Amino acid sequence: MSDMLLTVENLEVQFRSGSTLTKAVNGVSFSLNRKENIGIVGESGSGKSVTATSLLRLIPDPPGKITGGKIIFEDKDLLKLSDKAMRKIRGNEISMIFQDPSTSLNPVYTVGNQIVESIKTHQHLNRKEAKEKAVHMLELVGIPEARKRFSMYPHEFSGGMRQRVMIAIALACNPKLLIADEPTTALDVTVQAQILNLMKDLQHSIDTSIIMITHDLGVIWETCDKVLVMYAGNVVESGTVQEIYDNPLHPYTWGLLDSQITESVSSEEELSTIPGSPPDLSLDISGCPFAARCPFAEEICLKKTPEMIEAAEGHFTACHFQTKEHRLDRKEEKVDDRSNIKS
């Protein structure tokens, strides 16, 4: 069995609304080994959730459509599978948990029913065995009095508990890949750490890989081996967590790092932000998508789309000024130059 679990090549996803075509994901590529965790980070609208949802082919069609690329999961191209074959993968080999646990569980069925459903869909167990397995899953995700909680409804659980239930549903069939779409964003800070720790613990016990979608770099440092930084539907930087933490290259990644709130940020200082907002993806973007907000942008950035190049070993970035030969200095922001290149 090869070590490679998932390879995504040039994934393109578009949404059509009336005559407007929005290119939400524009040729995203990455790969993931077994038991490896990859983080996808970017601000809202960068295409990270769409990328993740596309892996399970759960993009609502219409309006969305996967228009190009390959998703190779263990030698199978998921985009070529029949709907039936795809359903065998969902929840069984690839599972997903979502951002808001208060809306992602069905309010009219007990949590037990919802876990059992997942188990019975993919495993040949009778009702009693499935129930036992579901109770076991609830215990595994740290829900006290699991047997009693089994027959309770989602509204009788707190947010953190609901996310634990979602994790129980997702892991019930021992998936090889777990896609976590901002699993802690909607939770209290205190609960966030618990959920992340739970995911890490369970990952070791069932040997699953995780794709962690987040806008919080802290979550990535905590949980992942590799990182993809996405902006406007493109990957702008990728590499190992260690590389990107120690030696980030893309100005957008710098912006993300600078806007983190860490212990070293004093309460006197104004918080750092990236000025402007992401481009409208329904318009054609020429050049680097980040150029309009980039403090280092020059003429070429607006004209030519930068290629993804390997700037250091295993560390890729798409910036005209970050090559093996030439590097930008993160601290020297050429703020004044921005006035010259306004389009």
Partner 1 sequence: MGKYIFSRLINMIPTLFVVAIIVFLITRMIPGDPASVMLGPQASREDVEALTEALGLNEPIHIQFMQYIGNLLKGDFGVSLSYNQPITDLIINRFPNTVILAVSALIIAFMIGVPAGIISASKQNSLIDYSITTISLIGVSMPIFWLGVMLVLYFSVNLGWFPATGMGSMADGFISYLKHLILPSITLATIPTATFARITRSSMLEVITQDYIKTARSKGISEFIVIFKHAFKNAFNPLLTVLGLQISSLLGGAVLTETIFSWPGMGLLIIDAIEKRDFVVVQSTVLFIALIFVIVNLVVDILYKVVNPKISYSTNKGGTK
Q: Which residues bind partner 1 (CB under 8 A)?
A: 53, 56, 58, 60, 62, 87-92, 95-96, 98, 100, 103-109, 117-118, 121-122, 153, 155, 166, 169
CB of 196 closer than 8 Å to CB of 219 = yes
In this structure, the number of other CB atoms found within 10 A of the CB of residue 212 comes to 27
Residue closer to partner 1 (CB basis): 177 or 227: 177
* Nearest distance from C-beta of residue 108 to partner 1, angstroms: 5
Residue closer to partner 1 (CB basis): 105 or 146: 105
Residues 6+ apart with CB under 8 A from 197: none
* Nearest distance from C-beta of residue 57 to partner 1, angstroms: 9
Residue closer to partner 1 (CB basis): 88 or 200: 88
Residues paired with residue 231 on neighbouring β-strands, in sequence order: 234
* Nearest distance from C-beta of residue 129 to partner 1, angstroms: 18
* Nearest distance from C-beta of residue 39 to partner 1, angstroms: 20
8 vs 300: CA distance, rounded Å: 29
Residue closer to partner 1 (CB basis): 17 or 272: 17
Could you say which DSSP state residue 272 is in?
P
* Nearest distance from C-beta of residue 91 to partner 1, angstroms: 4
Residue closer to partner 1 (CB basis): 62 or 144: 62
Residue closer to partner 1 (CB basis): 58 or 308: 58
* Nearest distance from C-beta of residue 109 to partner 1, angstroms: 8
Residue with tokens 């993806």: 281
For residues 310, 313, 317 and 319, what is the CA-based torsion angle, rounded to 10 degrees? -60
Burial (CB count <10 Å: 0-12, 13-18, 19+), residue 154:
buried
**To 5 degrees, how large is the angle CA 226–CA 227–CA 229?**
165
147 vs 120: CA distance, rounded Å: 18
Residue closer to partner 1 (CB basis): 94 or 227: 94
In terms of phi and psi (left: phi > 0; alpha: psi -120 to 50; beta: otherwise), the region of 169 is: alpha
* Nearest distance from C-beta of residue 52 to partner 1, angstroms: 11
173 vs 133: CA distance, rounded Å: 10
